[in-house]
Chain A
């Protein structure tokens, strides 16, 4: 027997996906940070932003009586990160993927506080992506519209 997930279940699943994405982004920034060279400070600031985001998502998930998804011990990098150019490219990649995950959270949000967090974070990810040197796109977070 199949049934459609309720709206609350869809929101919770999207929150868990967002948290898993933030775990991966934190790991990624931990890898790329030391290779950033002169951009190290910006990398550190963003790392701390993602830590706050992780804590917010964890709380939102706990508020629904669920266990927040845990971080993996390690993740596979999409390419080798040797120098500062690679580090910036990885940061662009991470922000692009996080933008997409938070755009999906916008679609599945039912609580206003979740919708606000998702909308704001989508914009933040898109801005950071551009700050790392990527060209702006028409539809941040919507990879199917590229």
Chain B
């Protein structure tokens, strides 16, 4: 439930029904998806969800990002800066939440997800792998951060590119994840 930007018109009277409604009213509950869409899914025999491969590809990207962060944190390549380490740990948690939300949205078993991921993501993984490789123990903190920034930017761009290819509720989720990753990139960017 999303409430208005500001609560109510200060002088709100009976005559401002539209304005009051727009600003105080709730937008449709987005947590459960559109009711008729959900009902259809429950009533009919299972059929392949066209969004699933896209959601699984996004989940696979999240797993790679989590791996990249964990490697940076454990290898010592980002140094002992406790503020930076705390920030990276926060971003790992964000990606874990993204991963969980994407898996839930895909409604996929791990086996099905793995199959989809291989089919859909394999041709496109090279840049992330390069980023992973550059986050080696010997990398400087600066180089490690740059590789994380690039990986976040690529993830955000990839999420943004498929927002139009999925149903409304999944588009909302992917757009939010893209926004989160864009912010990660900005906050980690040593040049910003």
Q: Are A140 and B30 in contact (CB under 8 A)?
A: no
Cα(A101)–Cα(B2), bound, Å: 7
> Is A97 a contact partner of B7 (Cβ separation < 8 A)?
no
Among A76, A109, A115, A122, point to the contact of B7 (Cβ < 8 A): A76
Once bound together, how far apart are the Cα atoms of A78 and B27, in whole Å? 19
- B31 cross-chain contacts in A, Cβ below 8 A: 144
Q: State which residues 26-52 of B face A: CB under 8 Å.
A: 27-31, 36
A30 CB to closest chain B CB (Å) equals 11
> Could you say which interface size class chain B belongs to?
35 or more
Contact (Cβ within 8 A) A143 B1? yes
A139 touches B175 (CB 8 A): no
B176 CB–A CB distance under 8 Å: yes
With A16-B22, A145-B101: A73-B9 Cβ-Cβ less than 8 Å: yes
- Partner-binding segment picked from B91-99, B118-126, B136-144: B91-99
- B176–A20 contact, CB under 8 A? no
B187 touches A136 (CB 8 A): yes
B183 touches A142 (CB 8 A): no
User: How far apart are the CA atoms of A137 and B164 in the complex, in Å?
Assistant: 23
| Residue in A21, A99, A106, A130 whose Cβ sees the most chain B Cβ within 10 Å | A106
Q: Is the CB of B10 within 8 A of A107?
A: no
User: B177 at interface (Cβ–Cβ under 8 A)?
Assistant: yes
Give B61-73 as 1s and 0s: 1 = Cβ < 8 Å from A's Cβ atoms: 0000000000000
Counting CB contacts under 8 A, is A36 at the interface? no
Is residue B180 within 8 Å, beta carbon to beta carbon, of the partner chain? yes
Complex CA distance for A109 and B173, rounded to whole angstroms: 14
Q: How far is the CB of A101 from chain B (nearest CB, A)?
A: 6
When the two chains form their complex, are residues B180 and A136 in contact, meaning their CB atoms are under 8 A apart? Answer: yes
Total interface residues on A, using CB and 8 Å? 52
Across the interface, B186 reaches (CB within 8 A) one of A108, A127, A135, namely: A127
Q: Given A101-B5, A127-B186, A138-B98, does the pair A106, B172 have CB atoms closer than 8 Å?
A: yes
Given that A75-B9, A75-B10, A144-B30 are known contacts, is A127 also in contact with B182, CB under 8 Å in the complex? yes
B28's nearest neighbour on chain A, judged by CB, is A104
Contact A78 B7 (CB under 8 A): yes
Q: In whole angstroms, what is the CA distance A118 to B28 when docked?
A: 17
Q: In the complex, are the beta carbons of A140 and B180 less than 8 A apart? A: yes
Determine which residue in B8, B91, B177, B179 has the highest number of CB atoms from chain A within 10 A of its CB, and name it.
Answer: B179
A-binding residues in B (CB < 8 A):
1-12, 16, 18-19, 22-23, 27-31, 36, 90-91, 93-94, 97-98, 101, 160, 163-164, 168-169, 171-173, 175-180, 182-184, 186-187
Of all A-B residue pairs in the complex, the 3 with the closest CB atoms, nearest first, are A24-B5, A107-B168, A20-B22
* A–B pairs, 9, beta carbons within 8 Å: A17-B22, A73-B9, A76-B12, A77-B7, A97-B2, A101-B27, A104-B27, A115-B164, A140-B176
